[in-house]
Amino acid sequence: MALFGRRVGRSLGPAPLEGRSLLLADLDGVVYRGRAAIPGAVEQLNRAAETVRLGYLTNNASRTDETVAAQLRELGLAARAQDVVTSPQAAVALLSRTVPAGSLVLVVGGDGLVDELGKAGFRVTRSAADDPAAVVQGFAPHVGWEHLAEAAFALAERPGRDPLPWIATNTDWTLPLERGLAPGNGTLVSAVHTAVQRLPEFAGKPETPIYEAAFERFGTRDALMLGDRLDTDIRGARAAGIPSALVLTGVDRPKQLVAASADMRPDFIVASIAELHEPYPETVTEKDGTARVGASRVRMRGPVVEVVDPGADRLDLLRAGCAAIWTSGLAIYGLQVPEELYADHWADDPTR
């Protein structure tokens, strides 16, 4: 820069993990994808565990907490079953407040649900003909049409009977695997919803029961949620009243970030878990309303999003763009957003 050119320092705040007591981490898209660990994730989570309590929140209802912990140990994490909070655990807690212990429950799902129901003293059936007291639904790879049909039969309206309680573990529409995105539990719940014309009560992210279960187990609400999905991890953290960080190694990408509604906006945007340990760049609002992060500057001109200066750091540009759009109060569908602002420079990153 010339002597009288604009010189902008990078204003840094505390690291996202600084001063926290608990880190709650999602699994799919954060720790691993399918069976493979995301490069660098295990190392950085072990580093985090040196200073904060580390817990794992998963909406995947197909496996038990011990099975999940065993996989994490295979990847190199010092995980125990009690470190894993699952959506089946949250679902069974809801069920316990809905029907008496020992009740017969129709299950759509796998071992994760069956195991937790058994621990809580419930009996399990797979047939609506057994006249169950409730239906609990969660994801498992083997779930097929016949299982969804049994749920629909059990939930069908009957004259003189109150609607049968229906609890679903989670609403995830997709499941990230090595080969790509596969249908998740939300898709399967939607099939039953179409047949019975009502919705279940949900236990997992973004609903608060799974967060409350984590706070109770780990003895603190001083937590940071780390996730890769805005509609579950981040929305759930906001609903539970805790800060959140979105890591760009999973499902949601820059295009989803700039368009995020107020209830799905993370406090931190990071490319990898390593950045949780680093001072986080602050967003500075200039006199004319321009949002600046480092040297990246973005402002609103009515419905036009203008990149004043892209700067040298692509992530700072994304952060500045999100800040400008989010504080504008304008709906994303009415804005003109330059492609450079939401270009996915991390799509081909080896951490994905």
Provide the annotated active-site residues: 26, 28
For residue 141, give both structure tokens: 């790879």
> Do residues 34 and 68 lie in contact, with contact meaning Cβ atoms separated by under 8 Å?
no
- At 88, give phi and psi (nearest 5°): -60, -35
The two counts, helices (H) then strands (E), for the chain are 11, 21
Q: Residue 101: which residues within 8 A CB-CB, separation 6 or more?
A: 120, 121, 122
Residues 236 and 138: their CA atoms lie apart, in Å, by: 18
Total count of residues recorded for the chain: 352
List the one residue out of 127, 232, 237 whose CA is nearest residue 169: 232
For residue 101, give both structure tokens: 């212990």
- Token pair 């919803």 in the structure block, residue: 193
For residue 238, give both structure tokens: 């906001």
- Token pair 């190694």 in the structure block, residue: 249
List the one residue out of 64, 69, 67, 68 whose CA is nearest residue 92: 64
Half-sphere CA count of 15, side-chain side, radius 13 A = 13
Distances (CA, A) of 292 to 268, 309, 318: 15, 9, 11
| Largest distance between two CA atoms of the chain | 83
Cis status, amide bond into 206, omega within 30 of 0: yes
The sheet carrying 104-108 orders its strands as 123-125, 104-108, 134-137, 166-168, 201-202
Q: Residue 153: which residues within 8 A CB-CB, separation 6 or more?
A: 128
Residues 107 and 246: their CA atoms lie apart, in Å, by: 33
